[in-house]
Amino acid sequence: METFRNLLDPFPSQQSTFAANVDAIYYFIFWLSTFFFVVIVAMMCYFVVKYRRVEGQEPEKSPSHNTPLEVTWSVIPGILVLGIFWWGFTGYVDMRSPPAETYDINVTAQMWSWQFKYGTGAVDAELHVPVGTPVRLIMQSKDVIHSLFVPAFRVKQDVVPGRYSGLWFEAKEVGTFDLFCTEYCGQKHSDMITKVVVHATDEENVTEEVPQTFDQWLEVASDPLEGGRIPLEDAGKKVVGMFGCLQCHSIDGSKKVGPSFKGHFGQQVETRDGSVLMDENYIRESILEPNAKIRQGYDPKMPSFKGAMKDEWIDAVIAYIKSIQ
Partner 1 sequence: MTSHVMPAHSDSHSSADNYLTASKGFLSWAMTLDHKRIGLMYLIGTMTAMFIGGFLALLLRAEHLSGTPGFVSHDTYNQLFTLHGAIMVFLFIIPSIPGALGNFILPVMLGAKDVAFPRMNLCSFYLWVFGAIFFVGALLTTGLDTGWTFYTPYSTNTSQTNVVLATLGAFILGFSSIFTGLNFIVTIHTMRPPGMTWFRMPLFLWSLYATAIIQVLATPVLGITLLLLAAERMFGLGIFDPKLGGDPVLYQHFFWFYSHPAVYIMILPGMGIISELISTFSRKAIFGYRFIAFSSMAIALLGFLVWGHHMFASGQSEMVTIIFSALTFSVSIPSAIKVFNWLATMYKGSIVLATPMCYALSFLFLFTIGGLTGLFLGALATDIHLHDTYFVVAHFHYVMMGGTLVAFVGGLFYWWPKMTGKMYNEFWGQISALIVFVAFNLTFFPQFVMGSRGMPRRYYNYLPEFQVYHVLSTIGAFLLGFGLLLAAIVLITSLFKGRKAPANPWGAATLEWQCSSPPPLANFEKTPTVGNPYDMQSVVWDPDTESFVRRGEVPIVPDESEQPAHA
Q: Is 51 in the site for partner 1 (CB under 8 A)?
A: yes
> Minimal distance in Å, beta carbon 319 to partner 1?
32
Three-point CA angle 314, 178, 92, nearest 5°: 115
Q: What 3-state class would DSSP assign to 153?
A: helix
The residue from 102, 117, 138, 144 that contacts partner 1 (CB under 8 A) is 144
C-beta closer to partner 1: residue 182 or 304: 182
Q: Is 25 in the site for partner 1 (CB under 8 A)?
A: yes
H-helix or E-strand containing 130? strand 127-130
By C-alpha distance, which of 242, 266, 288 is closest to 113? 242
Q: What 3-state class would DSSP assign to 13?
A: coil
Q: What 3-state class would DSSP assign to 227?
A: helix
C-beta closer to partner 1: residue 31 or 222: 31
Residues 54-73 that bind partner 1 (CB under 8 A): 54, 57-60, 62-66, 69-70, 73
28 to 47: interface string for partner 1, x by CB under 8 A: -xx-xx--xx--xx-xx--x
Residue 192 buriedness (CB in 10 A; 0-12 / 13-18 / 19+): buried
94 to 133: interface string for partner 1, x by CB under 8 A: xxx--------------x----------------------
> Minimal distance in Å, beta carbon 70 to partner 1?
5
C-beta closer to partner 1: residue 256 or 310: 256
Residues 168-197 that bind partner 1 (CB under 8 A): 178, 180-191, 193
Residue 118 buriedness (CB in 10 A; 0-12 / 13-18 / 19+): middle
Calpha distance 166→238 (Å, rounded) = 28
C-beta closer to partner 1: residue 195 or 284: 195
